[in-house]
Amino acid sequence: MRICVIYDCLYPHTVGGAERWYRDLVNELVAKGHEVTYVTRRQWDRGSGPTIPGVRVVGLEPSLPLYDRNGRRRITEAIAFGAGVFAHLLRHGRRYDVVHTASFPYFSLLAVGATRRMCGFDLAVDWHEIWTHDYWAEYLGGLSGRFGWLVQRLCLRPRQHAYCFSQLHAARLREYGVHGDVVVLTGQYAGTAGTPTLAADPPTVVYIGRHLPEKGVADIVPAVAAARLRLPTLRAEIFGDGPDRARVEQLVEDAGLRDVIAIRGFVDADVLTASLARSLCLVLPSRREGFGKVVVEAAAAGVPSVVVAGADNAAVELIEDGVNGFVAASASADDLAAAIVRVHNGGEQLRHATRAWFATNAERLSLDVAVAQVVTRYATGAPAVAPGA
């Protein structure tokens, strides 16, 4: 089949859960013999485009910054990318059997919907998240938030195969009236179980992800300070980057924790893997997650996770409390610190339980299962059922 995948970011030029999902997806589609085009915005110097074996990468102009100074996505980038997608599909849309796009940043999905009937391709949409009206208002403010909410509702109208990665967002898609059936893809993990590793001494918690306000990275600093009242040797390593990094660095400085909390930025994959494997736990204080792939990666390494309860956080679906980690009641310093201490008290028994949890759930969490669901649906239009789903 001739498949066009559309997202305005491309791993590793930008790093996040969706980026890795699309990079893994196109690799698997090529391995299964499909002809794949990846349409994204240009994130590299002209004349030095990325190479993905077997994939035609199309970088659209203009290349605009993703985020404003407050860490919010720029609407100008979303509109420009949508216009580029519309122009690309007008020229090339008839060559595709399937267009598989992220719902976000919305204007690109509207462009796909506007050209679908004209070009005759099937439409698949990944709804990594779907936001409530209240969250839109909080994120953008009253008038802008209402506009965002209405644009999201418009994106539900084209007939589509709708995918998401959690029961939370599946329920919202159905409630808000998506024009198509909904399948929950339970897997994104392409690896296998890691070699069992003892937690490092001194105990070290790890954060892996983008430094955005909704990710709660800044909450780690007071939480570590609070947890050190009971675990005096506790350390932390924070990986990734983003608009909130300077704020996090300043909080570390103000708290006098420069020798305790290391801001690592982006590192080689083997360094990241080793740090995660020997950590006491992964701390993911995000208030908004569409899946939480890093929780699965931690469990594969036998490392428990601490996540935060919240109306928009689907990562809690990956935690069996007391088995592969804990769900903190909030991102407050006291609640996060209490969860970290519980992990420490769980010791090797909790790490063993985490490895057992991953072994039990490995098949349904695998990328192979998700790709099989997607390809089956491409071919038949009917949803496949994941093992254990």
Summarised one tens digit per residue, pLDDT across range 202-230 is: 999 999 999 999 999 999 999 999 999 99
Are 107 and 71 in a shared domain? yes
Query: What is the average pLDDT across 148-158?
Result: 96
For residue 387, being part of any structural domain is answered with no
Tokens 């590192």 belong to: 267
pLDDT of residue 65: 84
For residue 312, being part of any structural domain is answered with yes
Is pLDDT of 70 > 80?
A: no
For residue 388, being part of any structural domain is answered with no
Is pLDDT of 56 > 60?
A: yes
Is pLDDT of 59 > 80?
A: yes
pLDDT per position as a tens digit, 90-128: 999 999 999 999 999 999 999 999 999 899 999 999 999
Are 242 and 169 in a shared domain? no
- In eight-state DSSP terms, residue 311 is T
Tell me which of 162 and 386 has the higher pLDDT: 162
Are 222 and 352 in a shared domain? yes
- In eight-state DSSP terms, residue 13 is T
Per DSSP bridges, beta strands 312-313 and 288-289 are parallel
Are 122 and 54 in a shared domain? yes
Are 23 and 138 in a shared domain? yes
Tell me which of 79 and 65 has the higher pLDDT: 79
For residue 196, being part of any structural domain is answered with no
Give residue 283's identity as a one-letter amino acid code: V
Overall number of domains in the chain: 2
Are 245 and 174 in a shared domain? no
pLDDT per position as a tens digit, 178-202: 999 999 998 888 888 888 899 999 9
Cis peptide preceding 62, ω within 30 of 0? yes
For residue 89, being part of any structural domain is answered with yes
Are 230 and 247 in a shared domain? yes
For residue 152, being part of any structural domain is answered with yes
175 — pLDDT class (breaks 50, 70, 90): very high
Q: For residues 293 and 315, what is the distance between their CA atoms, to the nearest angstrom?
A: 8
Are 235 and 259 in a shared domain? yes
Q: What angle do CA 99, 102, 107 make, to 5 degrees?
A: 90
Is pLDDT of 80 > 60?
A: yes
Are 310 and 372 in a shared domain? no
Query: What is the average pLDDT across 6-24?
Result: 87
381 — pLDDT class (breaks 50, 70, 90): low
pLDDT of residue 387: 45
pLDDT of residue 14: 83
**Percent of the chain having pLDDT more than 70?**
98
pLDDT of residue 66: 82
Average pLDDT, the chain: 92
pLDDT per position as a tens digit, 295-328: 999 999 999 999 999 999 999 999 999 999 999 9
Domain limits for position 305: 204-361
- In eight-state DSSP terms, residue 217 is G
Are 170 and 210 in a shared domain? no
pLDDT of residue 383: 43
**Percent of the chain having pLDDT more than 90?**
78
For residue 33, being part of any structural domain is answered with yes
Are 61 and 153 in a shared domain? yes
Give the CATH number, domain containing residue 239.
3.40.50.2000
Q: For residues 358 and 32, what is the distance between their CA atoms, to the nearest angstrom?
A: 26
Q: For residues 267 and 345, what is the distance between their CA atoms, to the nearest angstrom?
A: 30
Are 210 and 289 in a shared domain? yes
Q: Which of the residue ranges 128-142, 273-287, 372-386 has the most confident prediction, judged by mean pLDDT?
A: 273-287
For residue 385, being part of any structural domain is answered with no
